[in-house]
Amino acid sequence: MKKKGLVAIVGRPNVGKSTLFNRIIREKKAIVEDIPGVTRDRMYGTAEWLTLPFIVIDTGGITLQDAPFAKEIKMQAEIAIDEADVIVFVINYREGITPEDEVVAKILYKSKKPVLLAVNKYDKKESDEEAYQFMTLGFGEPTLISSTHGIGVGDLLDKVVNSMPRQPDINQKDVTNIAIIGKPNVGKSSLVNAITGENRMIVSEISGTTTDAVDSKITVNNQKYVLIDTAGIRKRGRIYENLEKYSYLRSLTSINKADIVLLIIDASVPISDQDTNIGGLAFEEHKPIILIGNKWDIIENKNTNSMIKKEEEFKAYFKYLQYAHMVFISAKENLRISKIFSAVEHVNENLKKRIKTSVLNEVLNKAQLLNPAPNHNGGRLKIYYGSQVEAYLPTFVMFVNNPSYVHFSYKRFLENQIRQQFDFDGVPMNLIFRERK
Ligand code: GDP
Ligand code: GDP
């Protein structure tokens, strides 16, 4: 699995960042299931250009309350420099280069990442010579664009894709990349300490190639793991640490690199929107997720049923994670940390599981007998046969009479039937419907 590249849009207010962002991520209107607990606040999105998928973030969406312009723009630019692979610096054609643009430029000069200058609000085709005046900013030849009309945006995306560093194939077969995510104060850094302290076999800390992120390598039960961005998790006291959107962004970049995600919650307090929104990010990125309820040591009146009860209580907030494992631990007291790795090993096994076509088709036939598909979109779905195909996540291709007859509730029914017959606990599943020719 390759990690997706990340593009950050930066610039002073009102130059058209969010308009450009929306144009880039403009997605095909797919049938979207309404998933409760998944944030629809779009500061980031996924896009594809020339078959290369990437993530776009609008740094203008990350704001500080009552902060002067300089402080806020510094934060946004620093975040872009830290997190992005390519930075798009937007200015306004109609106003020319302003002193505020120069403030932004000055911060971006420090970046070693590619910076592409986009001169926006260039609504009518004028002579290209206009472009040269903007070269004084020092970012080479700009791209003249109109985000509202779409002019030049394709040229800009060509340059984005060309400037994107080649993403290493992070899925080396023998290493599992683990992201530890969760809102501030749930115990992420305590957990990293507990894990790395317990495992004396930390091989090394590997410096990221394009970012300052530092990952930790560990070995548990002869399996190699990389804990993603442990430095970022441990780094305390950064001014933006408690900004909710920044916290999402950090989670997103870790999730992007992960094979398996550990979503940490504080089991001693009620679940908040921030917990479910961060979980939603991992879910939307289609990653296997293990729920970790931390601070078990301070839960009062525990008995043998407490974990089961708590799991039910918490999973009610994470409706989309019913199949996920949940483990209760105390990072601080170093309790049950090994249970995390048992769950990870189980997930790893399920990711590798392959179902024989004949066995799968028995299940599919029975499922259709038991519960034939309802009429949908003017027809009734008929599955002729299905088979599991090679992919990181369990992926089943169903050959059918007409894919448009698939109702998402029937898709969910089929998924549940497969899950009932085979252990795919802890991992998301892909069902793809193709017309049989
Ligand atoms: P941001 O603050 O940088 O995110 O800027 P917005 O995307 O919110 O845009 C600020 C204003 O500029 C809005 O009224 C947009 O409709 C307008 N705008 C954005 N792009 C263009 C453009 O290409 N041409 C014109 N004429 N207006 C634009
Ligand atoms: P992070 O912001 O998610 O990295 O959280 P920290 O690891 O910095 O922990 C936040 C606070 O929770 C600190 O005061 C920790 O000592 C405390 N904490 C972390 N894990 C546990 C735990 O298992 N039990 C208890 N009682 N406190 C914990």
pLDDT at 202: 42
**How far is Cα 325 from Cα 290, in angstroms, rounded to an integer?**
5
Task: Give the domains, in start order, of the chain with CATH numbers.
Answer: 5-163 (3.40.50.300), 175-351 (3.40.50.300), 357-435 (3.30.300.20)
Q: Which pLDDT belongs to residue 28?
A: 36
More confident call, 399 vs 205? 399
Q: Residue 31 — very low, low, confident or very high, per pLDDT cuts 50/70/90?
A: very low
Span of 35-39, 89-93, 266-270 with lowest mean pLDDT: 35-39
Output the residue whose Cα is nearest ligand 1's atom 22: 121
Distance CA 62, CA 239 (A): 13
d(CA 182, CA 201): 26
pLDDT at 423: 95
Q: Which run of H or of E encompasses 290?
A: strand 289-294
d(C-alpha 262, C-alpha 301), whole Å: 26
DSSP string, 322-389: TTSEEEE-BTTTTBSHHHHHHHHHHHHHHHH----HHHHHHHHHHHHHHSPPPEETTEE--EEEEEEE
Q: Which of 59-68, 109-118, 300-309 has the lowest mean pLDDT?
A: 59-68
| Ligand 1 pocket, residues with Cβ under 6 angstroms | 11, 13-19, 60, 120-121, 123, 146-148
52 forms bridges with which residues in the sheet? Answer: 49
91: closest CA among 10, 15, 9? 15
Residue 269: CB within 6 Å of ligand 2? no
Query: Could you say which ligand is closest to the alpha carbon of residue 328?
Result: 2
pLDDT in tens, 43-74: 778 888 988 889 898 888 777 777 788 888 88
* Residue identifier of the C-alpha nearest atom 19 of ligand 2: 187
Pocket test for ligand 2, best of 181, 190, 196 (most atoms within 8 A of CB): 190
pLDDT tier for residue 126 given thresholds of 50, 70 and 90: low
Starting at the earlier edge strand, list the strands of the sheet with 289-294: 205-207, 214-220, 223-227, 175-181, 260-266, 289-294, 325-328
Residue 169 has what pLDDT? Answer: 56
What's the sign of the alpha-carbon dihedral 115, 119, 125, 129? negative
Question: 237 CA to middle of ligand 2, Å?
Answer: 15
- Which ranges constitute the DSSP H helices of 137-289? 153-163, 188-198, 230-234, 244-257, 273-284
CA 68 to centroid of ligand 1, rounded, Å: 21
> How far apart, in whole angstroms, are the C-alpha atoms of residue 62 and residue 43?
8
Residue with tokens 């609504």: 123
- Alpha-carbon span 194 to 189, nearest angstrom: 9
* 185, 229, 234, 328, best to mutate for ligand 2 pocket (most atoms within 8 Å of CB): 185
Give the mean pLDDT of 291-298. Answer: 97
- Strand 175-181 and strand 260-266: the pairing is parallel
Q: How far is the CA of 52 from the centre of ligand 2 (A)?
A: 39
Mean pLDDT for the stretch of residues 361-384: 95
Pairing of strands 289-294, 260-266: parallel
Which tens digit of pLDDT belongs to each residue from 349-369? 999 999 999 999 999 999 999
- Tell me what percent of the residues of the chain surpass a pLDDT of 70: 86
For residue range 141-182, list pLDDT tens digits in order.
Answer: 999 999 999 999 999 999 999 999 876 555 556 889 999 999
Closest CA to 4 of 36, 62, 45: 45
Give the residue, by CA position, lying nearest to ligand 1 atom 9. 16
- pLDDT, average across residues 335-343: 96
For residue 93, report the distance from its CA to the centre of ligand 1, in Å: 11
**Angle, CA 2 vertex, CA 434 and CA 391 arms, to 5°:** 35
Task: Give the number of residues written for the chain.
Answer: 437
- At 259 the pLDDT is 94
Decide whether any atom of ligand 2 lies within 6 Å of the 298 Cβ.
yes
- Give the least confident one: 77-86, 123-132, 304-313, 337-346: 123-132
Judged on CB neighbours under 10 Å (0-12, 13-18, 19+), 322 is exposed
Number of H helices, E strands in the chain: 12, 18
Q: Average pLDDT for residues 76-87, to the nearest whole number?
A: 88
pLDDT: which is higher, 189 or 330: 330
Better pLDDT: 107 or 41? 107
Q: With contact defined as beta carbons under 8 Å apart, do 361 and 386 qualify?
A: yes
> 97, 131 in Cβ contact below 8 A?
no
